[in-house]
Amino acid sequence: MTPNAVILAAGRGTRMHSSMAKALIELSGVALVEHVVRAVSASDLKRPLVVVGFQAERVEEALEDQADFVHQEELKGTGHALLVAIQALPQETEQVVVLLADVPLVPPELIGTLTEAHQKSGAAATLVTAHVPDPSGYGRVVRGHDGQVVAVVEEKEADASIRQISEINTGIGIWRVAGLPSILQSLPLRGQEQYLTEAVAALVAKGESVRAVVAPDPELVLGINTRRGLAEAEARLRQRTIDRLFEQGVSIVDPLSTFIDAEVEIGQDTIIYPMTVLRGKCRIGRGCRVGPGTTVTSSRLGDDVIVERSVIEHSVVGPHSTVGPFSHLRPGSLLEREVHVGNFVELKNTRVGMGSKMGHHSYLGDATIGSQVNIGAGTVIVNYDGREKHQTFIGDEAFIGCNSNLVAPLEIGGGAYVAAGSTITQNVPTDALAIARNRQEVKPGWAKAHKS
């Protein structure tokens, strides 16, 4: 029978010195607990049951239909948390795999190995353990003369001899449900907590066997308890992501100065230049050139896009378009094919049609711009009146002269021209010329007279 999965995610994580629940702290752009949920989904386990407590609603929102939830109303430790979970599982549940929200790098294949070993052994519980050079802070795995696990002792309760043991408990394990609730209910309180690890000795005392699977790579099963540990896990996961992209035909010029989140997808023959940050759910096409000094957040870039020294946030850039240097696409921007956004241009909530160009020093907000439009240098769409944002519509093949102010709400027809230096406050018909500036006046000899 396929085991159920329980993820313990109720704690505060005080050692992280954060105002948010530990399960919500991000690793490579994804909440810690979501990494564990994905590992469960990639294995043969059932849909996970997540035990939530501190900031429960935020944890549930972060996972968004990826798991079921049960509330641990009193944060009384891991033993109590598992008891709460078992009481919420179907009565026919025979085995439960327990994982921790702060062990995000656990490989799905290790979960499979654990489940297989447990079912073959017939043990009451099988733990994932690891041998580490510095076991400080972890529960030690105590084995009997026959090599079988007889107890797990938390460091607070350990004497000097037990502290010398280098084999640690990772918190990951599979437990037979039959008889387990009564053991969990009888666990002693240590401060205000009941430790799940103390159930090991209780099972052994009843004549049951407890087995262990030793993790081949300890770094993948260590809990994240400090900001330093988070940074170390980030480096490990980032390298895993970069290796994946290398195998997919992506060139990363300097991996040490490039930061790519786990969910980023990049097409073949794209080059990522140094000092580039790709965050969130980015999708970058084939043959692109991104960077140097570029940040792209949860955006989509089509094939053959060039972005240099710019920032793109929650936007879409169509194929064969160019952005930068030193430009900013704020959320809601959409560039269609072959659009050119030059240096020092800012867009916000703006759609730009195929082949349109804005070379330099412009702000375009809350606008719909047609195809083959030319936006001259220094053009500003004045979209905010102090209370509301207003829309601007510019038709196909319009020409906006340099240093123009387009005061929204406004519509400029297709093929229309706006003369340089104009402040436009009224709609411009199709194929018209709009001029809104003082007529030039020349006074011969005035400068010479002024100087004298």
Instruction: Judge whether 31 and 23 are in contact, CB under 8 Å.
Output: yes
Taking alpha carbons only, the member of 89, 327, 74 closest to residue 194 is 74
Taking alpha carbons only, the member of 289, 237, 244, 283 closest to residue 259 is 237
Taking alpha carbons only, the member of 388, 299, 302 closest to residue 347 is 299
The one catalytic residue among 320, 360, 361, 390: 360
145 flagged as catalytic: no
Reduce the secondary structure of 261-322 to three states and give it as a string: CCCCEECCCCEECCCCEEECCCEECCCCEECCCCEEECCEECCCCEECCCEEECCEECCCCE
Question: In angstroms, rounded to a whole number, what is the distance separating the alpha carbons of residues 54 and 51?
Answer: 10
List the catalytic residues: 360
